[in-house]
Amino acid sequence: MHYDKYAFSDTGGMTIVTKDPFYENLIGQRMTASPQDIELLDVMYDPSSYDLSTCRCRAMQISGFDAQGPFVNGLYYLDGTAQDKLLYGPNENGYYLVYNKYNWSWAIQDADSIGENYFYAMVYDVSLCPENINQPWSEWTGSEWAYPPAAKTECVEWMRDEENVPERIEMPENEKLEKVEEANGLCPTDEDKWIWEIDNWSSILASYPAGLALRKQFEDREGYTFEATIYPNGVSYLYRDNISVFFGVVQGHHDDELPWPLYGRYLTMGLVEPTKTCRDRMTHKMQFTSAEYGNDYYKPADVGETTYGWNTFLPHEEFNAYDFVDLENDKVKFVFSAEDATGQYLDCDVEDLGDFDRCFYHPVENDLTFDKTGAIYGRGVVSTKSPPITIYGRRCLHLDFEIEGSVTISVQGENVWTGEEYQYYLQQHFPSHDHRHDGHDHLHFDVEIGHSGDFAVGYQQYIKLEIVNHENGKTQFIHADLEHDDCEHDHDHDHI
């Protein structure tokens, strides 16, 4: 990332000349941090991720697991192709020891789950070197997470001093490590995004005149219809040296059943290098928020479509400077998404994230505290508070818990500016008699938050959750998500 070659020019001439002409048209990009930028930040903020000279273990012995013991106990050798120390195994049962840099954890997975949020045992530990793990392990028993007291990892074979130990991470070009990289959060994921792969890109670029567009529509889970428009050679002759991209809300099949206007959505359009590993991939992304402006984002049949974008989304010279084209298959990969910004902190699944602290709530000082799995134990009160969010009209908040005893759950809103509080939900729950035999009961309920059916009016507030555990049992948070409507109109929500 850098100023461009014409920055601060009074005459329109070049003010910055690169020593190597190849980089003349690369400086000035605002797409993302370059691989060199990322490399420097890694060294500055996490030197251990590049200095592996202290990692000397060739083979790890894992032992002491109970429920998963027959599968995960055993000997794990450093993968000879994984010079980055992220992968050990497989053991005799086909399981791997994998480091997840995204949430600072080690996990034991089978071959099919590498790169996925599914594991049999895990430990949160910031150490990149497995011989330095000193935190307690947890394992999945089939119904809950438990902490086997005897579980441990121990290095049983060390490297000799004369052996070559890499001083920096070099990701091999293979599918297995590509999955590991994605699990480590080193590149954007395609989850909950719309992928548009355009074939025959070279012929399209050569034959499409300025002003001729490609169009594709997408429908989100609530029924809103969005359209992406791509002009390979610019929206007009004036912008013929650019790729122009626009994205927005258009008329759809379910518009009569949906609330309008559609405010508070993050609309994102992006382009990625499809053949690069996650570590080296360049991603070009633009984003805007649907907000109140005239009749924008009202029902398209009444006021017309609302689309925004950039005439100069990406100049051709910058496009050509990176590997945005899969040359072997002659295709490019665009990514679009429309995420609900008003509830971005209220859409959470602990099993997917692996850490309740990375969910939507921040803990408040009280008797109890949620652990990383989203569970509380014993009698007492636990309170949490979301970051401030702006809610337009009404929203339906879906919550799922598993409870072993009686609990009282309260959901409140607090106006960010005035401090005024709104009681949205207050109810005591008891495990049903039919489910007492297995020790817990699944609890699902909906909470209507917001202030009116006017979706053009927004209020900025904190959402506060308080749980009173009346017994010494376990209460487990499972899932939450927020829908763009009141609860009476939410007929399509999938209950867990």
Asked whether residue 277 falls in the same domain as residue 247, the answer is: yes
Last residue of a domain, one of 291, 326, 342: 342
DSSP, res 356:
G
Residue percentage of the chain with pLDDT more than 70: 72
For residues 242 and 122, membership in a common domain is answered with no
Q: Is residue 496 part of a domain?
A: no
> Are residues 473 and 375 in contact, defined by beta-carbon separation less than 8 angstroms?
no
Q: Which residues contact 248 (CB under 8 A, 6 or more apart)?
A: 226, 227, 267, 305, 306, 307, 308, 309
Q: Which residues of 80-95 are buried (b: 16+ CB within 10 A; e: fewer)?
A: eebbbbbbbbbbeeeb
Tokens in use for 185? 């959060």
How would residue 26 be classed by pLDDT, with cut points 50, 70 and 90? low
Contact 71, 93 (CB under 8 A): yes
Residues 385 and 294: their CA atoms lie apart, in Å, by: 34
Q: What is the 3-state secondary structure (H, E, C) of 34-58?
A: CHHHHHHHHHHHCHHHCCCCCCCEE
Tell me the pLDDT of the chain averaged across its residues: 77
User: What letters, b where the CB count within 10 A reaches 16 and e where it falls short, cover 129-159?
Assistant: bbeebeeebbbeeeeebbebeebbbebeeee
Name the residue with higher pLDDT: 104 or 422. Answer: 422
Q: Which range, of 75-79, 237-241, 295-299, averages the lowest pLDDT?
A: 75-79
Residues 218 and 272 in one domain: yes
Q: Are residues 79 and 166 in the same domain?
A: yes
Q: Do 144 and 203 have their domain in common?
A: no
Give the span between the Cα atoms of 140 and 143, in whole angstroms. 7
Phi, psi values for residue 351, rounded to 5°: -60, -35
DSSP state of 222: T
Confidence class for position 43, pLDDT limits 50, 70, 90: very low
Helix or strand (DSSP H, E) at 319:
helix 316-321
Lowest mean pLDDT among 33-47, 258-272, 285-299: 33-47
CATH number at residue 326: 2.60.210.10
Q: Give the model confidence (pLDDT) of 127-139 as tens digits.
A: 667 777 877 899 9
DSSP 3-state of 413: strand
**Distances in Å between the alpha carbon of 119 and those of 69, 103, 351, 372, 487?**
14, 14, 10, 15, 34
Instruction: Please determine, for residue 422, whether its predicted confidence score (pLDDT) is greater than 50.
Output: yes
Q: Which domain holds residue 118?
A: 57-183
Say whether both 414 and 332 belong to one domain: no
52 lies in a domain? no
Q: Same domain, yes or no, for 330 and 223?
A: yes
User: Is the pLDDT score of 279 beyond 70?
Assistant: no
> Hey, which of 148-162, 200-214, 457-471 has the most confident mean pLDDT?
200-214
Question: What is the separation of C-alpha 487 from the centre of its chain, rounded to a whole number of angstroms?
Answer: 26
| Secondary structure (DSSP) of 16-34 | ---SSGGGTTTTT--S---
Domain shared by 174 and 265, yes or no: no
Cβ-based neighbours of 419, under 8 Å, separated by 6 or more = none
Q: Is residue 200 domain-shared with residue 173, that is, in the same domain?
A: no
Q: What is the mean pLDDT of residues 180-196?
A: 51
Residues in the chain: 496
In a domain, 271, yes or no: yes
Domain membership of residue 23 (yes or no) is no
CA distances in angstroms from 326 to 197, 275, 332, listed in the order given: 10, 6, 6
pLDDT at 343: 65
| Identity of residue 333 | K
DSSP-assigned states of every residue in 171-205: --SSHHHHHHHHHTT-S---TTSEEEEEESHHHHH
CB 55 within 8 A of CB 129: yes
In a domain, 48, yes or no: no
Within a domain: 29: no
Residue 160 pLDDT level (bands cut at 50, 70, 90): low
> Which of the listed residues 309, 326, 342 is the one where a domain comes to its end?
342
472/199: higher pLDDT: 199
Residues facing 214 on adjacent strands: 230
Classify 64 in phi/psi space as left (phi over 0), alpha (psi -120 to 50) or beta. left
Of 312, 342, 372, the last residue of a domain is: 342
Please give the pLDDT value at position 403: 92
Both 287 and 229 in one domain: the answer is yes
Cα R_g (the chain), whole angstroms: 26
pLDDT in tens, 286-297: 888 887 778 889
In a domain, 8, yes or no: no
Tally the domains of the chain.
3
Residue 338: inside a domain: yes
- Same domain flag for 140 and 191: no
The CA-atom distances, in angstroms, between 130 and each of 158, 196, 252, 258 are 12, 40, 52, 52
Minimum mean pLDDT among 209-218, 257-266, 302-311, 401-410: which range?
257-266
Q: How much is the pTM?
A: 0.54
pLDDT tens column, 378-390: 899 999 888 777 7
pLDDT band at 301 (very low <50, low <70, confident <90, very high): very high
* C-alpha to C-alpha distances, 14 to 10, 17, 229, nearest whole angstrom: 10, 7, 33
Q: Are residues 327 and 392 in the same domain?
A: no
Residue 388 sits in a domain whose CATH number is: 2.60.120.200
Nearest of 333, 96, 94 to residue 198 by alpha carbon: 333
Burial class (CB in 10 A: 0-12, 13-18, 19+), 261: buried
